[in-house]
Amino acid sequence: MLLSHLECTACGKQHQWRGLQNLCTACGKPLFAIYDLERARQLDRSSFRTREKSLWRWRELLPLPPDVEPISLGEGGTPLLRAAKFGRDVELWIKDESVNPTQSFKARGMTVAVSMAKYLGAKKLAVPSAGNAGGAMAAYAARAGLEAHVFMPSDTPRANIIECREVGAQVTLIDGLITDCGAEIAKRKQQEGWFDVSTLKEPYRIEGKKTLGYEIAEQLDWKLPDVVLYPTGGGTGLIGMWKAFDEMEKLGWIGEKRPRMFSVQASGCAPIVRAFEAGEQFAAEFPNAHTAASGLRVPKAIGDFLMLNILRQSSGGAIAVEDKEMIEAVRDVGSDEGVFVAPEGAACFVALKKLRASGKIAAGEKVVIFNTGSGIKYLDSFAD
C-alpha cells in the first residue's frame, strides 16, 4: 500500500494512519492522507480505464491495504455529460453524481471512510448531516455491519430522513443546524463509543471525494478544464479535487495548469463567499443560515481556510445565488439536458450564467459543473 502517514493541513504534524484518527492532536485542524507518490510514478494512467467502474479502481491512490475488501455499493465512475444546449457559448460538461448509490456524491466519501473505520476497528459510527451524507453513511454502515447514528436538523428534506431510517440508522432530529448536530455528537461520542465521521474530521472521506478529480482528468483526456463550479457546503469535494490535482502532477499524469475553482453557495448561507470577498483567511459562522439546498446549509466549515486558499490560488472565486433562481434552474437544466439535478447542482448553472455575464468566465472556455445529487430527494421544494 502506498499510504504512508497522515499530515496536518495547518501545522504539518505527522500522525500514524494505523489507528482511528480524527483531527490533528496538536492544533485541531483536518488531516490529509499522504502517499509515497515517488513509488507510484510507475503506475500507468491509461491502465485504470479498463478496470471495473467503481472509484476503487484508483485503489493504489486510496487507503486500505490491498488484501482488504472495501465496503462498496458500486460508487463513482459517473458520466461526464456534454451540455451543449444549456452551455451555448461555453464548452459545458456536467459531472453527474446523481447516479451514485444513495443518489449523491456523498457515497464517494463514505465508501472510503466506512471501509477504513471498519478496518481500524470502529463498531459505531456517528455523523451530522444536512442531507445526503447521512443517507450515504447509513447505507455503507449497514453493508459493513456497523451501527450508524445520524444527527440531522429537524427540517432536513423528508427523503433524507426516511432513507437513513430505512437502511437501519438510528436517526436523531435536532432543532438547529448541522453545526448543532455536530456539537451534540462531540458531546456524546466518548461515552457512546462512536467514531465521528463528520466532514474533514476524519481523514478519509476526502480521499473518496478526490476521485472526482481523477475521474474528470481521465474523462477529459488528462487535460483539466478551465473552470470548475462546485456547490460548496463543507467543501470536501473541492478540497479533495485540489489534492487529486496535486497528486496527479506528482505522478506525472498532468502538468501544472489548474482550473479556476469557484465555490457556489446559497444567498441564505454563504460564509465562504463572504470571507472570500472580505479577503479573510477563515470564514466566520453565517448567521440565520437558510436555503432549500440543504447540502449548502453549512454555516461554519472546519476546512474554510483550505477552501479559501484554493479559490485564491486558482484565481477562481465564490458566488452566491438565490433559492428561487436555483429551483427555476432545475427545470431549465432538466428540460435542456435531461438530468433532474439537485438544487445544489442547479445553483452552479445559475452561477455559470452570472459569471458569464460578469466576464469572469469567457466564451468558449471549458467548464465542469458538479451535479452533486438528485432532485428526487427534494420534492417538497417544487410546486405541485
Ligand X SMILES: Cc1ncc(COP(=O)(O)O)c(C=O)c1O
- C-alpha 254/C-alpha 32 separation (Å) is 21
Neighbours of 210 (CB within 10 A): 31
Cell numbers 444546449 correspond to what residue?
85
Task: Classify residue 60 by its DSSP letter.
Answer: G
Span interacting with Zn ion, options 22-30, 33-41, 138-146, 202-210, rule CB under 5 A: 22-30
111: which 3 cell numbers?
465508501
Q: Find which of Zn ion, ligand X, none residue 344 binds, CB within 5 to 8 Å per kind.
A: ligand X
Please, which contacts does 165-168 make with residues 24 or more away whose CB atoms are closer than 8 Å? 167/135, 167/138, 167/139, 167/142, 168/138, 168/141, 168/142
Question: Of 7 and 249, which CB lies nearer to Zn ion in the complex structure?
Answer: 7
Residue 95 CA to residue 373 CA, distance in Å, equals 10
**Partner touching 27 among ligand X, Zn ion, none, CB below 5 to 8 Å by kind:** Zn ion
Told to check if 157 binds ligand X by CB under 6 A, we report no
* 344 is a site residue for ligand X (CB under 6 A): yes
Is 211 a residue that touches ligand X (CB under 6 A)? no
Nearest residue to ligand X, scored by beta-carbon proximity: 295
Whichever of 24 and 296 has its CB closer to ligand X, that residue is 296
**Residue 231 lies near ligand X (rule: CB under 6 A):** yes
Q: How many residues bind ligand X (CB under 6 A)?
A: 19
Instruction: Decide: is 22 part of the binding site for ligand X (CB under 6 A).
Output: no
**Footprint on residues 90-129 left by ligand X (CB under 6 A):** 104, 106
The reply on whether position 54 binds ligand X by CB under 6 A is: no
Burial call 285-299: b when 16+ CB within 10 Å, e when fewer: ebeebebbbbbbbbb
The helix-helix angle for 271-278 and 304-313 (nearest 10°) equals 50
Site for ligand X in 174-203 (CB under 6 A): 199
In angstroms, the CA 341 to CA 198 distance is 25
Nearer to ligand X, 87 or 235 (CB): 235
Report if residue 6 touches Zn ion, rule: CB under 5 A. Answer: no
353 binds Zn ion (CB under 5 A): no
In 56-204, beta strands by DSSP E: 80-82, 91-96, 124-128, 147-153, 170-174, 195-196
Question: Of 119 and 378, which CB lies nearer to ligand X in the complex structure?
Answer: 378
Residues that bind Zn ion (CB under 5 A): 8, 10-11, 13, 24, 26-27, 29
Residues that bind ligand X (CB under 6 A): 104, 106, 130-133, 199, 231-237, 295, 342, 344, 372-373
